[in-house]
């Protein structure tokens, strides 16, 4: 029996350090949180406490397979890696000879956040001259909105929330998706700090809040502007800070009269008195901290909402108050040279760029050349991509050759021509940054690969060899790549030694990160952004109404507590804990339609129809419906993904998804 350290590979801001207990036969017996890691502090979420069940699931894919029945039927026969690689290389060469490199497309998801494995495919497809992606399903609007105000900067250190006296959780369900940061807030709470949650429904975090403020989806910019109106009107702002550290306050002042609490109330549904109270609490707090979620950014107004909220700390000088400020992502804490892994220089020239969010459309309607060779790596688009009926039609195309590298027989893998078994992170090397803390971690494999599973890196190395690509990026040792990726590790011997010995390290001193001012064009926090104007956005914070649409209910599709995207569908115990696919609706919405609790209902819009169990709860306001989680189709009443209902429209910034910005109708099943 051994205890070995590894890292949680999932797309979660907490990037935990895990201690795995491995028996003498090389099986993972159990997992627990690493008490020495400064952010994990010995705790894991309920999902990864069950990780042994995922790693050793009887449903793991262990061998390469070739399709033996109609597309999508899930019939496969076992083949060898050699056969698989030969067939893939042949098909690739034929496709490229006929249509050119851009006929090839790789959809890569966030199944494994390790930098080495997550990017292993990139140089390969650059070399082919394949079509590239822009945007993703997750966070590009949040990234871009934040950057317009703040520049590419960290914001406040996550742990510093322990010293706040007021935490505002804005569009995030921290209890499910950022529990380790919430644990730091518990310290502040002991000292009397309060937590306010602003969210369209009363999620798990809102249930723990001192004050829960329900807001109409997509109207957050209006609320933030209403707060600014009150802060300025009541003199609750920090003049010296504004003068020294911000840009464009005079211009901001000119628009604030448009956002009087009464007008903002009509847009947001938040009573005017509550807007005043919220602004006063914020302006009078000793060190107010705003934790911004990605959730509110997945809307056609998402980028602007984030950009606007990010202005608030600038008005009250919150970044200069220990325990105050705001946090979106911590990526800037990991200065890195991504080109070491991605090698854009291997591209034959500028290649075509496709919007990842419009995956179904791309498969069906993009021509000159059409996509005829598809690779899927670390993603499950047949469940997780919007306008899902379109995605599935695209995957069914007979003239599309699809290769899926996976750990499980996902919905996407069922559509493949060749399915290849992937290792889990417990079986391969990687290095992990984080988007919710500032510690870099390295993980050696803790067990041998199961069956014939290969890591992403080993797969693309073997395929590169078959294709006759001899660039050294395909064969360099993992650890060498990792050291090259982070220049700090080259320069700083002590950090390098600590990193190599498996310690979680910070690459950049915190004070250095903040000392350079704001990395915006003006060097200040930008209330007014010339760059936004150039990019075609309003240069000042703004509230723009969502256009009217068919459908009585605004559908939100946030994460479930006991799963993570689609990655835990095979762990039965977690599924049981999550319950079943329900649509949460207000009891009044149900009564109007004669719907009883716990009966099947149909949820529909112009994109399609999906069945759910009705869950009646006043956690959800009238006019809103909430479906938590993306269930595997085989666990739903009618074999459909929730994403049948979501649109492939893009966000206002960053080419992101608008998963929380869709209208639906519901009816009783007759």
Ligand X SMILES: Nc1nc2c(c(=O)[nH]1)N[C@H]1C(S)=C(S)[C@@H](COP(=O)(O)OP(=O)(O)OC[C@H]3O[C@@H](n4cnc5c(=O)[nH]c(N)nc54)[C@H](O)[C@@H]3O)O[C@H]1N2
Partner in contact with 173, chosen from ligand SF4, Mo ion, ligand X, none, beta carbon below 5 to 8 Å by kind: ligand X
| CA 128, chain centre distance (Å) | 28
SS3 316: helix
> Which stretch in 43-51, 144-152, 357-365, 572-580 sits in contact with ligand SF4 by CB under 6 A?
43-51
Residue 147 to residue 420: CA distance in whole angstroms: 38
Residue 443 sits at φ, ψ, to 5 deg, of -135, 125
Structure tokens at 511: 């004070």
**Under the criterion CB under 6 A, does residue 308 sit at the interface with ligand X?**
no
Residue 231 to residue 283: CA distance in whole angstroms: 6
Partner in contact with 362, chosen from ligand X, Mo ion, ligand SF4, none, beta carbon below 5 to 8 Å by kind: none
Q: Is the peptide bond before 194 cis (omega within 30 degrees of 0)?
A: no
Helices (H), 318-387: 339-342, 359-365, 381-384
Q: At what angle do helices 456-467 and 81-99 cross, to 10 degrees?
A: 60
Dihedral, CA of residue 430, residue 88, residue 367 and residue 299, to nearest 10: -30
> Which stretch in 255-263, 295-303, 531-539, 648-656 sits in contact with ligand X by CB under 6 A?
295-303
For the window 105-144, what string marks contact with ligand X as x by the rule CB under 6 A?
----xxxx----x-------------------xxx-----
Please give the residues from 369 up to 398 whose contact with ligand SF4 meets the rule CB under 6 A: none
Please give the residues from 153 up to 172 whose contact with ligand SF4 meets the rule CB under 6 A: none
Cβ nearer to ligand SF4, comparing 179 with 223: 179
Partner in contact with 16, chosen from ligand SF4, Mo ion, ligand X, none, beta carbon below 5 to 8 Å by kind: ligand SF4
CB of 9 to ligand SF4, least distance (A): 8
Question: Following DSSP, what letter does each residue of 577-619 receive, concatenated?
Answer: HH-S-EEEE-HHHHHHTTPPTT-EEEEEETTEEEEEEEEE-TT
User: Interior CA angle at 456 toward 454 and 458, to 5°?
Assistant: 60
Q: At what angle do helices 220-233 and 302-309 cross, to 10 degrees?
A: 20
**Under the criterion CB under 6 A, does residue 268 sit at the interface with ligand X?**
no
Work out which of 180, 321, 405, 607 binds ligand X, going by CB under 6 A.
405
**Under the criterion CB under 6 A, does residue 19 sit at the interface with ligand SF4?**
no
| CA 149, chain centre distance (Å) | 21
Size of the site for ligand X (CB under 6 A): 60
SS3 659: coil
CB of 543 to ligand X, least distance (A): 12
Structure tokens at 117: 């494995």
CB of 259 to ligand X, least distance (A): 17
Question: Following DSSP, what letter does each residue of 224-274 receive, concatenated?
Answer: HHHHHHHHHHTT-S-HHHHHHHEE-HHHHHHHGGGG-HHHHHHHH---HHH
Burial 105-130 (b: 16+ CB within 10 A, else e): bbbbbbbbbbbbbbbbbbbbbbbbbb
SS3 29: strand
Q: Are 593 and 666 in contact (CB under 8 A)?
A: yes
Work out which of 19, 20, 22, 48 binds ligand SF4, going by CB under 6 A.
48
| CA 645, chain centre distance (Å) | 19
Size of the site for Mo ion (CB under 5 A): 2
Burial 457-466 (b: 16+ CB within 10 A, else e): bbbbbbbbeb
CB atoms within 10 A of CB 337: 11
Question: What's the length of the chain?
Answer: 670
Work out which of 164, 265, 372, 567 binds ligand X, going by CB under 6 A.
567
**Under the criterion CB under 6 A, does residue 529 sit at the interface with ligand X?**
no
Please compute Rg for the chain using Cα positions. 25
CB atoms within 10 A of CB 491: 9
**Under the criterion CB under 6 A, does residue 118 sit at the interface with ligand SF4?**
no
Please give the residues from 552 up to 611 whose contact with ligand SF4 meets the rule CB under 6 A: 564
**Under the criterion CB under 6 A, does residue 441 sit at the interface with ligand SF4?**
no
**Under the criterion CB under 6 A, does residue 181 sit at the interface with ligand SF4?**
no
Cβ nearer to ligand SF4, comparing 48 with 193: 48
Helices (H), 468-556: 478-485, 487-491, 493-500, 510-515, 530-534
Work out which of 5, 37, 47, 405 binds ligand SF4, going by CB under 6 A.
47
Please give the residues from 92 up to 151 whose contact with Mo ion meets the rule CB under 5 A: 138
Cβ nearer to Mo ion, comparing 11 with 238: 11
Partner in contact with 8, chosen from ligand SF4, ligand X, Mo ion, none, beta carbon below 5 to 8 Å by kind: ligand SF4
> Which stretch in 289-297, 497-505, 580-588, 603-611 sits in contact with ligand X by CB under 6 A?
289-297
Work out which of 100, 123, 261, 295 binds ligand X, going by CB under 6 A.
295
Work out which of 28, 104, 373, 659 binds ligand X, going by CB under 6 A.
659
CB of 180 to ligand SF4, least distance (A): 6
Work out which of 565, 605, 633, 658 binds ligand X, going by CB under 6 A.
565
Query: Which residue lies nearest Mo ion, judged by its C-beta?
Result: 138
Cβ nearer to ligand X, comparing 171 with 317: 171
**Under the criterion CB under 6 A, does residue 12 sit at the interface with ligand SF4?**
yes
**Under the criterion CB under 6 A, does residue 410 sit at the interface with ligand X?**
yes
Work out which of 131, 478, 643, 647 binds ligand X, going by CB under 6 A.
643
Helices (H), 109-178: 115-118, 122-128, 140-150, 174-177
**Under the criterion CB under 6 A, does residue 430 sit at the interface with ligand SF4?**
no
Work out which of 380, 402, 478, 651 binds ligand X, going by CB under 6 A.
380
**Under the criterion CB under 6 A, does residue 421 sit at the interface with ligand X?**
no
Cβ nearer to ligand X, comparing 261 with 295: 295
Of 403, 442, 447, 393, give the one whose Cα is nearest residue 424: 447
Put residue 517 in one of left, alpha, beta given phi > 0 → left and psi -120 to 50 → alpha. left
**Under the criterion CB under 6 A, does residue 261 sit at the interface with ligand X?**
no
The residues binding ligand X (CB under 6 A) are: 11-12, 109-112, 117, 137-139, 170-173, 176-177, 198-201, 203, 215, 217-218, 220, 293-296, 299, 377-381, 384, 405-408, 410, 422, 456, 556-561, 563-567, 630, 642-643, 646, 659-660
Point out which residues bind ligand SF4 (CB under 6 A).
8, 10, 12, 14-16, 44-45, 47-48, 179, 564
| Contacts with Mo ion, residue ranges (CB under 5 A) | 11, 138
């Amino acid at each position: 029996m051994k205890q070995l350290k590894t890292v949680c590979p999932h797309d979660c801001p907490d990037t935990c350090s895990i201690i795995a207990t491995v028996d003498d036969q090389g099986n993972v017996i159990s997992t627990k949180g690493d008490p020495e890691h400064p952010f994990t502090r010995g705790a894991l979420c309920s999902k990864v406490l069950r990780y042994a069940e995922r790693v050793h699931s009887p449903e793991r894919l262990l061998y390469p397979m070739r399709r033996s029945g109609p597309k999508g039927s899930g019939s496969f026969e076992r083949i060898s890696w050699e056969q698989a690689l030969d067939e893939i290389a042949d098909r690739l060469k034929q496709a490229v000879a006929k249509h050119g490199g851009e006929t090839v497309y790789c959809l890569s998801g966030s199944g494994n956040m390790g930098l080495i494995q997550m990017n292993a495919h990139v140089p390969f497809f650059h070399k082919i001259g394949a079509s590239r992606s822009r945007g993703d399903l997750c966070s590009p609007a949040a990234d871009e909105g934040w950057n317009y105000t703040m520049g590419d900067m960290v914001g406040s250190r996550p742990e510093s929330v322990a010293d706040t006296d007021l935490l505002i959780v804005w569009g995030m369900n921290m209890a499910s998706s950022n529990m380790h940061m919430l644990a730091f807030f518990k310290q502040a709470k002991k000292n009397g700090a309060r937590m306010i949650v602003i969210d369209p429904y009363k999620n798990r975090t809102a249930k723990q809040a001192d004050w829960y403020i329900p807001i109409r989806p997509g109207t957050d910019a209006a609320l933030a502007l209403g707060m600014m109106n009150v802060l300025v009107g009541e003199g609750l702002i920090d003049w010296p800070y504004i003068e020294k550290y911000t840009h464009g306050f005079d211009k901001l002042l000119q628009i604030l009269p448009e956002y009087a609490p009464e007008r903002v109330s009509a847009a947001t549904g938040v009573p005017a008195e509550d807007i005043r109270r919220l602004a006063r609490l914020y302006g009078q707090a000793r060190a107010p901290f705003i934790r911004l979620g990605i959730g509110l950014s997945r809307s056609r107004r998402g980028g602007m909402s984030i950009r606007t909220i990010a202005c608030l700390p600038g008005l009250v000088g919150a970044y200069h108050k220990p325990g105050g400020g705001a946090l979106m992502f911590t990526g800037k804490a990991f200065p890195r040279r991504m080109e070491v892994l991605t090698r854009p220089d291997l591209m034959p020239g500028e290649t075509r760029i496709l919007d990842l969010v419009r995956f179904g459309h791309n498969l069906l309607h993009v021509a000159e050349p059409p996509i005829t060779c598809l690779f899927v790596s670390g993603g499950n688009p047949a469940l997780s991509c919007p306008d899902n009926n379109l995605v599935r039609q695209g995957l069914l195309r007979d003239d599309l050759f699809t290769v899926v590298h996976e750990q499980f027989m996902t919905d996407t893998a069922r559509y493949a021509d060749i399915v290849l078994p992937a290792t889990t992170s417990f079986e391969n090397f990687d290095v992990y940054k984080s988007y919710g803390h500032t510690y870099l971690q390295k993980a050696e494999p803790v067990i041998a690969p199961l069956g014939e599973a290969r890591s992403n890196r080993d797969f693309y190395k073997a395929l590169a060899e078959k294709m006759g690509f001899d660039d050294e990026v395909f064969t360099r040792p993992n650890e060498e790549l990792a050291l090259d990726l982070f220049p700090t590790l080259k320069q700083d011997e002590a950090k390098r030694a600590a990193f190599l010995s498996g310690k979680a390290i910070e690459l950049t001193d915190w004070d250095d990160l903040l000392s350079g001012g704001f990395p915006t064009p003006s060097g200040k926090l930008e209330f007014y952004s010339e760059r936004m104007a150039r990019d075609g956005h309003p240069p000042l914070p703004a509230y723009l109404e969502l256009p009217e649409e068919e459908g009585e209910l605004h559908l939100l599709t946030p994460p479930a507590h006991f799963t993570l995207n689609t990655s835990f569908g095979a762990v039965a115990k977690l599924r049981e804990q999550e319950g079943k696919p329900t649509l949460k609706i207000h009891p009044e919405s149900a009564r109007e339609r004669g719907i009883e609790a716990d009966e099947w209902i149909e949820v529909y819009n112009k994109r399609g129809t999906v069945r759910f169990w009705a869950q009646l709860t006043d956690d959800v306001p009238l006019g809103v419906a909430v479906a938590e989680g993306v269930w595997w189709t085989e666990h739903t009443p009618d074999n459909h993904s929730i994403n049948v209902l979501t649109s492939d429209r893009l966000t206002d910034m960053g080419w992101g998804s608008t998963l929380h910005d869709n209208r639906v109708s519901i009816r009783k099943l007759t």
